[in-house]
């Protein structure tokens, strides 16, 4: 049985992939530069998600206005864990949440068809005080997944879920250090 709160992600020894959806102009500028540049906003919280399917649910498979492009953002595991160490659960004390540099919320994980599952996916809001660190220090690469998203969505919509499943990024349980897991995985 899958634990209710568990970080699942595509990661290796040094990095973890998180996903974000953007308007075309923002995605194109970032991809050309190899990192985030304007019109990306450095003055507001940005939400990163290690669950590909949760982002597909959120962006309606890159069909929502302003979310037509999906980027895989590879960041260092050190940066990821640093962000999580500064996080406050959004279900906590409102004053503490307002002051926190990083917000964590848990939302039902989704199937390829968008159905809510019985376990939760982590969403991490990186506050404006850490945005430059996220983009300039933790980031190691950007990949445009929009063509993959469109192909996978067409398969899902065409009733070919098994073929679609084979295209999904590989996600497995991310080994959070004990104190982080105790702090964040209580929903």
* Mean pLDDT estimate for the chain: 94
Looking from the CA of 30 toward its CB, the CA atoms found within 13 Å total: 27
What residues contact 166, with CB distance under 8 A and at least 6 apart?
A: none
What residues contact 131, with CB distance under 8 A and at least 6 apart?
A: 42, 43, 46
Distance CA 180, CA 164 (A): 33
**What is the Rg, in whole angstroms, of the alpha carbon atoms belonging to the chain?**
16
Question: What pLDDT, on a 0 to 100 scale, did the predictor assign at position 186?
Answer: 66
Distance CA 82, CA 76 (A): 10
Domain residue spans of the chain? 8-184
Give percent above pLDDT 70 in the chain. 98
What pLDDT digit, counting tens, does each position of 76-114 carry?
999 999 999 999 999 988 999 999 999 999 999 999 988
Distance CA 83, CA 165 (A): 30
What residues contact 84, with CB distance under 8 A and at least 6 apart?
A: 102, 104, 124, 176, 180, 184
């Amino acid at each position: 049985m899958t634990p209710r709160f568990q970080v699942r992600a595509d990661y290796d020894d040094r990095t973890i992939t998180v996903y974000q959806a953007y308007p075309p102009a923002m995605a194109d500028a970032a991809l050309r530069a190899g990192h985030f540049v304007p019109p990306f906003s450095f003055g507001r919280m940005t939400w990163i998600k290690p669950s590909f399917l949760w982002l597909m649910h959120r962006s309606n498979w890159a069909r929502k206005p302003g979310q037509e492009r999906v980027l895989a953002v590879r960041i260092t595991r050190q940066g990821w864990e640093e962000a999580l160490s500064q996080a406050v659960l959004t279900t906590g004390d409102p004053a503490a949440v307002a002051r926190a540099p990083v917000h964590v919320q848990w939302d039902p994980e989704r199937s390829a068809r968008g159905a809510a599952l019985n376990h939760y996916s982590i969403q991490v809001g990186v506050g404006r005080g850490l945005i430059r660190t996220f983009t300039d220090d933790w980031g190691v690469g950007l990949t445009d997944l929009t063509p993959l998203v469109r192909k996978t969505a067409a398969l899902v919509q065409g009733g070919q879920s098994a073929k679609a499943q084979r295209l999904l990024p590989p996600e497995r349980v991310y080994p959070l250090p004990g104190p982080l897991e105790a702090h964040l995985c209580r929903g």
